[in-house]
Each structure stands twice: as structure tokens, then as C-alpha cells.
Chains A and B, each alone.
Chain A
Amino acid sequence: GNSVTQMEGPVTLSEEAFLTINCTYTATGYPSLFWYVQYPGEGLQLLLKATKADDKGSNKGFEATYRKETTSFHLEKGSVQVSDSAVYFCALSDGFYGNNRLAFGKGNQVVVIP
């Protein structure tokens, strides 16, 4: 079945540092890929998405490229701010079948220190 694997453990970094969160996936068919963000005390919000191979999703300075050859969708940001502290989830949807069922990774807590 479809699954998403995120790197283990929280990520702690200083303001203006470079952020990378790794995400790899296993899927049949042609999934769409997503990054969701959850700020403290809130629900999840869509951060960015990519629907086909080589697409790059971007939003708020974050980027991720859909790499079919490495089955990856790593999230990057060049210069993080304290306000980027949140939990980040990678997810995939086999949207071809129209069921919207998302397979989520376990999430990564990101803490940005001033």
C-alpha cells in the first residue's frame, strides 16, 4: 500500500539557518504529494503540493520537488524564522482514484531558536 517515511526526530536550528526535512514515499500509480504544517494548538494547513514528477511546489519560502526516480519530496527553506516553528507532515494521495485518502508521515517537530 501507499506509505510515507519522514526522517526521525525533531529538528532544532537557529534563525536564518537552512532547513531540510526528508520525505520518501512508496506508492502505486501516480500520487500527488503534499507538505502540511501544524502550528501549536491548530489543525493542519496545506503548505505546498506537487501533482506530477519534476513539479516543484513552493510557498512562504518553502520548496519541495517531486522526484520520481528517488521517490522523494524533501522540504527545504533557505532561511528559517522563529515563526516557522511547527510540526511538518509529508503526505501523498492517490488522487487518480479520487478518494482523497492521504497517507501521512509521522511528522517532524521543527524548533527555530532566535
Chain B
Amino acid sequence: EADIYQTPRYLVIGTGKKITLECSQTMGHDKMYWYQQDPGMELHLIHYSYGVNSTEKGDLSSESTVSRIRTEHFPLTLESARPSHTSQYLCASGETGAGELFFGEGSRLTVL
């Protein structure tokens, strides 16, 4: 069973608010990822990290930012949320070279 946790599971906020989605894993994985999942189910990589102090933008441009100060923690921040940010955000982690990813249960964000 994977040990990767996301909070909050559900969040409803107003436009202009700052939010942080938390993601933590206890497996010691170097690599962590954030995916945005649209209502049509498709997954889009928005950020990834190969280790502490390493962050890269993914394939889909996003106004969010991430940080990786500790191996186990990979939070995602939106400085000023907008309705277009309404989506499900999935965090994942994996070991180098293994290919397989472990996913959290997701954070469903609604911006009014």
C-alpha cells in the first residue's frame, strides 16, 4: 500500500485567495510529480521534482508554483486562485529507474 498523502481532499474557495495543496510521502522517493486532471479525465503533468531543491515545469503550463525543501514534502501553491484553476490535482512519487508511480488520493479544488 502506497504511503502518499494529500490534503485537503476537497477545497472550495473564492477568487483571489491564496491556496497551498499539501503532498507528503513516507517512502523516501526522490522523484515527485503534480498532475492536473481535467473533467474529461485526461492527466496533465504540471510540475515535477527529482530531489531536494530541484523543481521543473511539466508539459502543461500552470500558474501554480512548487517547492521541494524536504524529500518527503512537495507542496503546490496558487498565489491568486481563479475559476479556471478548478480541477483535481494529483500528487505522485516514484523511485529512480523503476518507472512505476504511486499516487495520492487527489485534491479537488473549486474556485468560485
Contact = CB atoms under 8 A, between A and B. Distances in A.
A42 B48 contact: no
Given A43-B105, A100-B31, A34 B43 contact: no
Interface in A25-78: 32, 34, 36, 38, 41-46, 49, 51
Chain A: interface size category: 20 to 34
Nearest to B105: A43
Given A42-B106, A107-B41, A107-B42, A100 B101 contact: yes
26 contacts: A32-B99, A34-B99, A36-B103, A41-B105, A42-B105, A43-B90, A43-B92, A43-B104, A43-B105, A43-B106, A44-B101, A44-B103, A45-B2, A49-B100, A93-B99, A93-B100, A99-B31, A100-B33, A100-B95, A100-B96, A100-B97, A101-B45, A101-B48, A106-B40, A107-B42, A109-B41
Contacts of A99: 31, 50
B103 A34 contact: no
Contacts, number: 61
Interface residues of B, number: 26
Interface string A81-114: 0000001010001010011111010110100000
A89 B45 CA distance: 14
Contacts of B105: 41-43
